[in-house]
Amino acid sequence: MKATMKELYEGERPYEKCLSRGAGALSDRELLAVLLRTGTVGETAGELAGRILSLPGYQGLTGLGRIPLERLLKLRGVGKVKAVQMKCAAELAARMAKAAAGERLCFAAPETIADYFMEELRYQEQEQLIVLFLDTRNRLLKEKLMFKGTVNASPASPREIFLEALEVHAVYVVLVHNHPSGDPAPSKEDVQITKRIWHAGELLGIRLLDHVIIGDGCYCSLREQKILPDSREEKAACMADG
């Protein structure tokens, strides 16, 4: 028989604990156990949750967001339903974090851009380049994933970026991409392509405001690194508008 929440003595039941003390009182293991609902033969839902959260290479809640669906399906006690539930829960958490960050998003403030894309990009195993296209008032016209590269590279073409910018009548663009290594420090190639895109934009009258690189819980702004012209005036104006 599968072990369920009812088999736990009352002091350990996550449902009752949530009702009496609030969801914040539950441990990571208990929260996942509530989602799983049932365990497997000889294993409670809490024990199954603990085993999942201890998977080598995917430990903890951050690991839960990175576990491939195929890996989850191979775990004893995890079928298609549980695997899909966990992936959907991780995606929901990432979207909630992005929605919350969006409330204070300012395109001239790289820390807010990093917050907005952090949960979406920090666990990606390939480099992705997202381009934000803005109007004259720094309002977002379009957000587009332009390139998805190999584990080590995401080739960026200035031509494709500015063809898209011209199509939506953008005046400014912002580049955002991730480093799967978790280290957001710009590579030599990052610097070179950023300068190429900046120069191409200047010729077209479409300004590159920033290039924000996302790491694991951290970021790097090439404008803050003085690789692009300073934007303190733009940031101050944006903060004043907000």
Residue 152: what pLDDT?
Answer: 54
Residue 154: what pLDDT?
Answer: 58
Instruction: Report how far residue 50's alpha carbon sits from residue 59's, in angstroms, rounded to the nearest whole number.
Output: 10
Domain boundaries, the chain: 2-97, 104-241
Homologous superfamily (CATH) of 104-241 is: Cytidine Deaminase, domain 2 (3.40.140.10)
Asked whether residue 15 carries a pLDDT value surpassing 50, the answer given is yes
Return the CATH number of 2-97, one of 1.10.150, 3.90.1570, 1.10.3470, 2.60.40. Answer: 1.10.150
Q: What's the whole-model pTM score?
A: 0.70
Which among 94, 99, 55 is positioned nearest to 78, based on CA atoms?
55
Residue 95: what pLDDT?
Answer: 85
Asked whether residue 162 carries a pLDDT value surpassing 90, the answer given is yes
Across 59-65, average pLDDT: 83
**Phi/psi of residue 68, nearest 5 degrees:** -65, 150
Across 56-84, average pLDDT: 89
Instruction: Report how far residue 186's alpha carbon sits from residue 164's, in angstroms, rounded to the nearest whole number.
Output: 25
The answer to whether the beta carbons of residues 207 and 110 sit under 8 Å apart is no
Which among 198, 196, 152, 154 is positioned nearest to 174, based on CA atoms?
198
Lowest mean pLDDT, pick from 38-42, 66-70, 152-156, 178-182: 152-156
**pLDDT interval class at 187 (50, 70, 90):** very high
The C-alpha angle 210, 93, 71, rounded to 5 degrees, equals 105
Classify strands 38-41 and 207-214 as parallel, antiparallel or unpaired: unpaired
Question: Tens of pLDDT along 91-138?
Answer: 888 888 888 877 778 888 999 999 999 988 988 888 999 999 999 988
**Mean pLDDT over each residue of the chain, to the nearest integer:** 85
